[in-house]
Amino acid sequence: MLYPPIEPYRQGTLDTGDGHQIYWELCGNPQGKPAVFLHGGPGSGCSPVHRQLFDPQRYNVLLFDQRGCGRSQPHASLENNTTWHLVSDIERLRTEVMGAEKWLVFGGSWGSTLALAYAETHVSHVSELVLRGIFGLRRAEIQWFYQEGASWLFPDRWEEYLAPIPESERGDLVAAYHKRLTGDDPAEQLRAAKAWSKWEDSTITLLPSPRHQQSHAADRAALAFARIENHYFVNAGFMEEGQLIRDAHKLRGVRGTIVQGRYDVCTPARTAWDLHRAWPEADFHLVPDAGHAFDEPGTLARLIGATDAYAR
């Protein structure tokens, strides 16, 4: 279902002015419909396969690695790294690199969080939203996946997630991981990063996927992913509780598509349903045979269907 692999026709870096260099690339047709792809994590970075979600003849797509991850520098940096720094980066990329008045915004998982934060802030510059695996970054969502909830479905994987944390600190696992991921011991940092990353990578698909389980296997990828993701979660996404669903009324004039796996353990369907209720104008797809990953067949078909439809 994916479009054939393509290479960027232009790439570069954005100097944020506060210590970060953001890698970006443009793909597809320079005269095509403007779009931006927002990757997950936070802290994952973009992959070449993400370019294949858009018809290269009809779209001009900007992809970028968010602060501290992928090809952006400095690596795994938490300084000046918040949701609102990223929203500002997206807006600068729109004006300084893409030069578009409006563009389609595509985001999955944390990318859906960032897409909502951007769209609710700059709604006049959003033509459409395509969102997958909806994550509102509410306290209950963090608690479900990182404290208690998903552990009932994956007790074997949960034991590996618990392993770096002493029993005396397991009452707040996100805080306990934060202590280690930002500590002075590189070996302890890496051990925590590997365990944090493996927990998510091994639970995101409905059926086991060795490829997904290796997504952040490399030391460098695991460290950026775990440090940045945990930093955002400790700080509640730098947002008020429930802010994104509360402010979804601002999207009423924007066309949109919401795609959610019924058996998504990482970002359970409750949040997608809450967004659907708050923004009923968007098309809503609850995929009956999918978990969290974007490339599970039922989810991917609806995502490609959405980008194809909006290209017309």
133, 175, 204, 216, 262 from 290: Cα distances, Å: 10, 30, 9, 21, 6
In this structure, are strands 59-64 and 103-108 parallel, antiparallel, or unpaired? unpaired
Number of structural domains found in the chain: 2
Residues 151 and 214 in one domain: yes
DSSP labels for 257-282? EEEEETT-SSS-HHHHHHHHHH-TTS
Q: What is the pLDDT of residue 216?
A: 72
**Which burial class, exposed, middle or buried, applies to 245 when counting CB atoms under 10 A from its CB (0-12, 13-18, 19+)?**
middle
Residues 225 and 119 in one domain: no
For residue 149, give its domain range: 143-236
Residues 86 and 134 in one domain: yes
Residues 28 and 111 in one domain: yes
Query: Whose CA is closest to 260, among 306, 196, 311?
Result: 306
Q: What is the pLDDT of residue 211?
A: 74
Q: What is the pLDDT of residue 58?
A: 98
Residues 103 and 187 in one domain: no
Give the active site residues.
Answer: 109, 264, 292
In a domain? residue 53: yes
In a domain? residue 23: yes
Residues 200 and 62 in one domain: no
In a domain? residue 159: yes
pLDDT by 10s per residue, the chain, length 312: 899 999 999 999 999 999 999 999 999 999 999 999 999 999 999 999 999 999 999 999 999 999 999 999 999 999 999 999 999 999 999 999 999 999 999 999 999 999 999 999 999 999 999 999 999 999 999 999 999 999 999 999 999 999 999 999 999 999 999 999 999 999 999 999 999 999 999 999 988 777 776 667 789 999 999 999 999 999 999 999 999 999 999 999 999 999 999 999 999 999 999 999 999 999 999 999 999 999 999 999 999 999 999 998
Q: What is the pLDDT of residue 225?
A: 96
In a domain? residue 228: yes
Residues 242 and 262 in one domain: yes
Residues 133 and 242 in one domain: yes
Place of tokens 């290269």: 56
Q: What is the pTM of this model?
A: 0.97
Q: What is the pLDDT of residue 208?
A: 77
CATH of residue 278: 3.40.50.1820
Residues 198 and 251 in one domain: no
